[in-house]
Structure 1
């Protein structure tokens, strides 16, 4: 039975340890190259290469719009936005009476509160409807109906339910990311081959053993992907909600107000902040979690 659980978990560490304990001499050692410095430099290069492509397209289009097309409103250049961004942070310039850093903190606070609640609710509901075949068709249909409605369409409902302020924005973020997480987790559980569950039943496993030894390990990558997609959707919906709902403070609110006074350089500078925050959260948190899980499940492509 223990061998079955070990196989489910996909962990080779114990087998490697047994081989190392049975070796006769040092001649059986195999030199394994350490590619971590190269992998890190490769990741940095890929990141800056992608960033350079975006900035190059931005620069070319801004030049074409301003110099060739001759539009009435000047299209901001990348360096103008970078300079404005530095100015916002170094000179503590107020944007509608509030420093930019406080707008960022307000947005992050709303995002964290909503995403934490959606992660808890989505993981719980995803496990329930994924494990019980009887309720899956009805429950997933209801969840899919909610998914079909865009986040902006929920704004009137949120305002009627919760009024103006932080609450409706948090509600919309929670709803959208909650649905995405639920669908991914329940779908991951439904992909578990039935033979695995029958084998666990034959070996006398109870519901908790099947949950922690079979179901969760098998659906773990789908869970991480669901949380990752939910995080991205939550961040995007947050900015949209702040632009429409009168939050009074937040990055989305700032972009909307700067657009109203035709300060597109400042608006583009705030858009850069949105992209950088989302990228940092994804690359620092979820990419590392996914790498760790893939290693534990013996799914590393490099191994």
Structure 2
């Protein structure tokens, strides 16, 4: 019975996710058909097969394997695509950690304290609508070229989604729960740790998910301007040489990484919020 249960569960999971593949598969099929019939210029929009060929060429190691030169793992990761992807992921993670690390305590303070909220809210609302891209000239003036300006822009992109969701999560706690906790003798510290913070966790995780997505968008823009490697840089380099197949291969790689990050965050949210979903159902 247990084996049948798990088999049925896996089958349902496969069917649920396979339905989402219908649109990409149909799109690629139509794209290949249009390319085969000559309806589009191959220099402007190469066929899916040409893009796939370029993607594997982009992924492949740059030199034949030489056991004397180093380990096989290092050789496998010597491909241009993997090096660019690792560089981009490093910037995303570091920039997000900086931005979220600053936003989370500030958001908790602003959400829990009306005085701090009143002091900081006007400044936050003034700066928040400015897109990180607008800071590019200042970032280059302040930090020069390389990783520092890119990390600054990514941290800025991740900061506000985490901040605003954290504030909203703390401030939305039902007053009934707060009054009940006070009536049971809870002090301010206990009230914050045992009532406000757990209630705010779903909002915080939603902000983290949005913040990571924003960080990944910003890193591509930053690499196009201030960095000499990474997926964004490689796309701009391909544009200069009119390598449309490499541009699309890089875009697909970005999409795959973005999908992987989103699926990972969704799984993390589901794991951490099991208690919350249990209350809802």
TM-score computed with the length of structure 1 as normaliser: 0.79
How far 1:46 sits from its partner (Å)?
3.9
Cα deviation 1:1-43 (Å, max 9, x = unaligned): xxxxxxxxxxxxxxxxxxxxxxxxxxxxxx9998665454444
1:293 is matched with 272
Task: Assess if the C-alpha contact under 8 Å between 1:106 and 1:250 holds in 2.
Answer: yes
Are the structure 2 counterparts of residues 35 and 130 from structure 1 closer, same or farther at C-alpha, using a change threshold of 3 Å?
farther
Compare 275-284 and 139-148 and name the one that shifted more. 139-148
Match for residue 178 of structure 1 among 146, 159, 162: 159
Task: Assess if the C-alpha contact under 8 Å between 2:60 and 2:80 holds in 1.
Answer: no
The answer to whether the aligner puts 1:78 opposite 2:59 as a matched pair is no
Distance 2:268 2:247 in 1: 33
1:214 is matched with 195
1:134-149 equivalent positions in 2, closer than 5 A: 134-149=115-130
1:205-284 equivalent positions in 2, closer than 5 A: 205-245=186-226, 247-284=227-264
Match for residue 82 of structure 2 among 74, 91, 101: 101
After superposition, the CA RMSD in angstroms is 2.8
Are the structure 2 counterparts of residues 98 and 37 from structure 1 closer, same or farther at C-alpha, using a change threshold of 3 Å?
closer
Distance 1:276 1:172 in 2: 22
Task: Assess if the C-alpha contact under 8 Å between 2:85 and 2:231 holds in 1.
Answer: yes
The higher relative CO (CA closer than 8 Å, separation ≥ 6) is in 1
Distance 1:72 1:294 in 2: 48
Compare 201-210 and 82-91 and name the one that shifted more. 82-91
Task: Assess if the C-alpha contact under 8 Å between 1:62 and 1:75 holds in 2.
Answer: no
Distance 2:203 2:3 in 1: 31
Cα deviation 1:133-166 (Å, max 9, x = unaligned): 1232442332233221122111112111111111
Are the structure 2 counterparts of residues 78 and 195 from structure 1 closer, same or farther at C-alpha, using a change threshold of 3 Å?
same
TM-score computed with the length of structure 2 as normaliser: 0.84
1:92-171 equivalent positions in 2, closer than 5 A: 92=62, 99-171=80-152
